[in-house]
Structure 1
Amino acid sequence: MNLQISDIGHVIQLAIAPVFLLTGVCTKLSVLINRLARIIDRMRVLEERLDTAHNDNYLDELDTLYRRSHLINSAITLSTACGFLICLVIAMLFLSDTTNLPLDRYIAASFVFGMVALIGSFVHFLREILIASRFMRDHRHARPRAGAPGVPR
């Protein structure tokens, strides 16, 4: 097999776009992991408070945090699957060019499944954000404001 430098250059050019996509997925994973860490920290605080005093508000917030953590875990799983599939695309691009194997359909399928996983990850992420926003909005309206009649400043 006679592999030309120009052939390798062509494969590298084809692999650049998936590499940039992989960078974006990794950045998104970092954001998701940070959000999950914040949720876990808040759950620990609430569980410690529940050990000393029973409060229905704490239980409601724990339920919301549990739903959010489940959605974030799903988004992390889907983002990781997307990253794996994009890595597979990159590897198959090099394999197909260096071995002349007809991997076109596998490359296309892996890319499409990777995009489906990424879309699913964004959907779960958006649902988590909407739950967090709704909880904050509801919690803010349920609490009396400082300076209102009968509320100490």
Structure 2
Amino acid sequence: MFFQTPTDIDTVGSAAHLIQVALTPVFMLSGIGTLINAFNTRLARVSDHLEAIHKQLAAPISDEDGETGKADRKRLEAHSFHLQRRIFVLDAAILLNGTGGAATCGAAMALFVGSLRDSSTSSWMLALFGLALMCTVGALSFFLADTFLSWHGLKRRGALPPLP
């Protein structure tokens, strides 16, 4: 026959299992890519805000501003420090997410190398995928920290109403 169908159920089952396992890293990478995009967008907005603050700080204080100008400068410096902390937290989230993406790719590579060579790479695959999951949890934790920093900054500047 030209088209032969496999008669061994184990062969079909193992191929289906391999495809099933191979799709997991694809979905993980898709989620990591989406998170990195969101983190980069947020980082760009914070960086733009910090740049605007630095431009305001670079302007000299005029004599007619007096104490109000000095108080504004102190407030801007505190806000600049707050934004720099947020940038650090977002950088850490992006770094962890990138590491998680690389570990996910490594897990997929271990899966395929193991299936091609009929060797046992399950420990590598599990270790790399576990690392990817831990990095993603860490990145989401840093994102949560940035959210709290952002909310705290808005609350401190009086941009949010007080809680009842």
Same fold (TM over 0.5): yes
The reply to whether residue 122 of structure 1 matches residue 140 of structure 2 is yes
CA distance in 2, matches of 1:78, 1:46: 28
Which sections of structure 2, spanning at least 5 residues, go unmatched?
Answer: 1-5, 62-69
The reply to whether residue 92 of structure 1 matches residue 110 of structure 2 is yes
Q: Residues 72-113 of structure 1: CA distance to partner in whole angstroms, max 9, x if unpaired?
A: 000000000000001111111111111111101111111111
Structure number with larger C-alpha Rg: 2
Structure 1 segment 6-21 matched on structure 2, within 5 A: 6=12, 9-21=16-28
The reply to whether residue 132 of structure 1 matches residue 150 of structure 2 is yes
Q: Which moved more, 1:49-58 or 1:61-70?
A: 49-58
Residue of structure 1 equivalent to 2:31? 24
Number of aligned pairs?
Answer: 140
Structure 1 segment 52-91 matched on structure 2, within 5 A: 52=59, 53=61, 55-91=73-109
CA distance in 2, matches of 1:20, 1:105: 21
For residue 12 of structure 1, report the CA deviation from its aligned partner: 2.4
| CA RMSD, 1 decimal | 2.1
Which runs of at least 4 in structure 1 moved beyond 3 Å after TM superposition?
4-10
Give the share of equivalent positions with the same residue, in percent. Answer: 22
SS in 2 for 1:90: helix
Cα separation, partners in 2 of 1:141 and 1:27, compared to 1, 3 Å: closer
CA distance in 2, matches of 1:83, 1:9: 24
The letter for the 1-side match of 2:139 is S
Cα separation, partners in 2 of 1:13 and 1:141, compared to 1, 3 Å: closer
CA distance in 2, matches of 1:141, 1:30: 27
SS in 2 for 1:102: coil
| TM-score with structure 2 setting the length | 0.79
Which sections of structure 1, spanning at least 5 residues, go unmatched?
Answer: 143-153
Residue of structure 1 equivalent to 2:64? none
The letter for the 2-side match of 1:139 is R
